[in-house]
Structures are given as C-alpha cells and as structure tokens.
C-alpha cells in the first residue's frame, strides 16, 4: 500500500492518504503507520466513514483498545467506543458545556494513561467545533536551559479534578469515584519509542508540584502551560464528516471548542488505546 504523507506543522501532525481503513491493514503498512504516529503525534485520515466495529479495527493498528471511563457515553453495542454527541451536553446560558475545553492530556491521573485517543467524525456542524493540538515536545525543547534544569526531575500529583481546574469534569457515580486513581507523574516525560522528552501538563488535574508550596507549584504549572499553548506549537483540526484522527497523548495536549451553533448536530466516535506507566525523562 503506497501511503501519501503530508506533514502539517513541522513535526506536528501529518495527513495520510492512499489507505482505506475499513479494510485490513498489512504488517508493513502497520509498521509505517506506527512509525508516523511516534514521529508526528497526530495522524489525520480523511474520507474514512467508519462504522464503530471498523473504527475499532482501525484503531487497533496502533495498539489495544482501552476501557471507556465514563460509561454513560459509550455505545450500547460497542462499550469500548464512546460517543461525543451534542445531544448529551448540558447548557449554561444557552452555551454548550463541552467536555475537554482547555488543553489537556487524557486521563493523566491514571498510572497508565491512554497512549492514544482517536475520533471519527460522523456528523459535523457547519462551522466551529475544531480540535486543537499543541506539540509539548517542541514546547519543551524551546524552554530556556535554566528552566529545563529546574523542572528536570519534578513531579506533580494528578487527581480527578484539581483545586485549580479551569473546568469541571463529568460527575461520577460513587463506584466510579472509588476507582478513580491519583498518581505522581513526571513533569518531563520521555517518549517510549522516540526517546524524545516532552512536558506533561494537565491544568485540570495537576494538584501542584511535589516539594513546592502550592503558590510556587501552581505558578510554575501556569507558566509552563502558557508557554506550551502558544499558537506556534499548534495544529488546529477542522473536522469533516468521515475524518479519523488519532493522537499521541504523550506528545501533544489537545482541546475542544464549544464555538458552534448548539442547534446543529455534532457527533463523533471516540476510542482510547492502553498506555504504559509514563517514563520520567530524567531521574
Ligand atoms: Fe480529551
């Protein structure tokens, strides 16, 4: 299979054509796609109107499907596939309350956060609702040497919802809450395949920095977050129905946008892939 590769923003994002993901993928192409995944962190495939079982197979090219944490949003027939639907969203003063509306990396409070998250767009509003990505490898690389040294071995406690969270997370049942982990994560991680260091940030879940006062810790998180979310590090994906996008949660942060007409329908399937415990970049 001859893939056509169009990089998007330097090493962040690549649009891939010449493949039909509803068909089985041969071993060689699988290896090529996985190499592109580690290198470019966000893979965009246009014109792949996949059904849920086809989507599961396509995502499995990159790893093993992970359980969905929020059971209320899964497809009844395919519990490993979540649904992002406008119809499930609460509203506040007429504005949709969209999940994921500030830069984050998924389930960072898990000991083994998902290595990847993937979406397939089923129905897309006429404008808005883009997904934005920022490259936290490049953001790390650009930090002044003194900052790199200061943060090299720091760790942050990731909890379900930080006391400084800019957004509210889904309300969970007591059983779900009892299973919610919290874990100390490195502030700088190393990619398990490429070996590249990256910032590991999630302002919704980080409860300060270990060994620092809350003021100092949250100030450092805010400073790194402001740095990493600059538009130079960004790829903004404008969805079309039939797009499949998969991203590496160890190399990018992502965010949703609630800027579309709440009367229009927006519907995407979502899966995650099992990850490993994060590797600190420096010990
Ligand atoms: Fe997310």
Q: Is 17 left (phi over 0), alpha (psi -120 to 50) or beta?
A: beta
Contact status, residue 66 vs residue 81, Cβ threshold 8 Å = no
What one-character-per-residue DSSP string does 126-186 give?
A: SS---EEEEEHHHHHHTS-HHHHHHHTT-EEEE-SS-TT-SSPPPP--HHHHHT---EEEE
Contact status, residue 254 vs residue 41, Cβ threshold 8 Å = no
Cα(28) to centroid of ligand 1, in Å? 30
Cα(92) to centroid of ligand 1, in Å? 20
Cα(247) to centroid of ligand 1, in Å? 10
Cα–Cα distance for residue pair 201/265, rounded to 1 Å: 31
Q: From residue 237, give the alpha-carbon distance in Å to each of 129, 132, 144.
A: 9, 6, 29
Cα(32) to centroid of ligand 1, in Å? 26
Cα(100) to centroid of ligand 1, in Å? 5
Cα(204) to centroid of ligand 1, in Å? 11
Cα(146) to centroid of ligand 1, in Å? 31
Question: What integer pLDDT is reported at residue 267 of this predicted model?
Answer: 96
Contact status, residue 131 vs residue 256, Cβ threshold 8 Å = yes
| Number of residues assigned to the chain | 283
Digitized pLDDT (tens) for each residue of the chain, 283 residues in all? 689 999 999 999 999 999 999 999 999 999 999 999 999 999 999 999 999 999 999 999 999 999 987 788 899 999 999 999 888 777 777 777 777 789 999 999 999 999 999 999 999 999 999 999 999 999 999 999 999 999 999 999 999 989 898 887 777 788 877 778 889 999 999 999 999 999 999 999 999 999 999 999 999 999 999 999 999 999 999 999 999 999 999 999 999 998 998 889 999 999 999 999 999 999 9
Cα(145) to centroid of ligand 1, in Å? 30
Question: What integer pLDDT is reported at residue 87 of this predicted model?
Answer: 81
Cα(104) to centroid of ligand 1, in Å? 6
Q: Which residues on adjacent β-strands are paired with residue 14?
A: 7, 43
Cα–Cα distance for residue pair 280/283, rounded to 1 Å: 7
Cα–Cα distance for residue pair 271/114, rounded to 1 Å: 10
Question: What integer pLDDT is reported at residue 175 of this predicted model?
Answer: 82
Cα–Cα distance for residue pair 248/24, rounded to 1 Å: 22
All domains of the chain in start order, with CATH: 4-273 (3.60.130.10)
Say if strands 42-45 and 12-17 run parallel, antiparallel, or are unpaired.
Answer: parallel
- What is the phi/psi pair of residue 137, to 5°? -75, -50
Cα(58) to centroid of ligand 1, in Å? 20
Give residues with Cβ within 8 angstroms of 66, minimum separation 6: 80, 114, 271, 272, 273, 274, 275
């Amino acid at each position: 299979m001859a893939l056509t590769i169009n990089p998007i923003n330097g090493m962040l994002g690549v649009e891939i054509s010449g493949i039909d993901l509803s068909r089985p993928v041969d071993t060689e192409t699988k290896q090529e796609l996985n190499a592109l995944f580690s290198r470019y962190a966000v893979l965009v495939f246009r014109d792949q109107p996949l059904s849920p079982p086809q989507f599961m197979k396509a995502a499995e090219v990159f790893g093993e499907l992970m359980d969905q944490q929020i059971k209320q949003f899964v497809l009844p027939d395919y519990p490993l596939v979540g649904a992002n639907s406008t119809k499930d969203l609460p509203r506040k003063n007429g504005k949709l309350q969209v999940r994921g509306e500030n830069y984050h990396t998924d389930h960072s409070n898990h000991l083994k956060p998902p290595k990847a998250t993937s979406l397939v767009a089923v129905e897309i509003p006429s404008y808005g609702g883009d997904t934005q990505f920022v490259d936290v490898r490049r953001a790390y690389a650009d930090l002044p040497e003194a900052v790199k040294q200061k943060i090299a071995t720091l760790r942050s406690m990731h909890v379900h919802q930080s006391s400084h969270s800019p957004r509210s997370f889904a309300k969970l049942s007591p059983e779900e809450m009892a299973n919610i982990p919290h874990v100390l994560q490195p502030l700088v991680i190393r990619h398990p395949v490429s070996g590249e260091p990256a910032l590991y940030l999630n302002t919704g879940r980080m409860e300060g920095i270990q060994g620092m006062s809350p003021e100092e810790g949250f100030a450092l998180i805010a400073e790194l977050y402001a740095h990493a979310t600059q538009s130079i590090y960004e790829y903004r994906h404008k969805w079309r129905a039939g797009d499949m996008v998969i991203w590496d949660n160890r190399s990018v942060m992502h965010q949703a946008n609630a800027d579309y007409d709440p009367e229009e329908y927006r519907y995407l399937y979502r899966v995650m892939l099992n990850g490993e415990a994060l590797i600190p970049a420096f010990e």
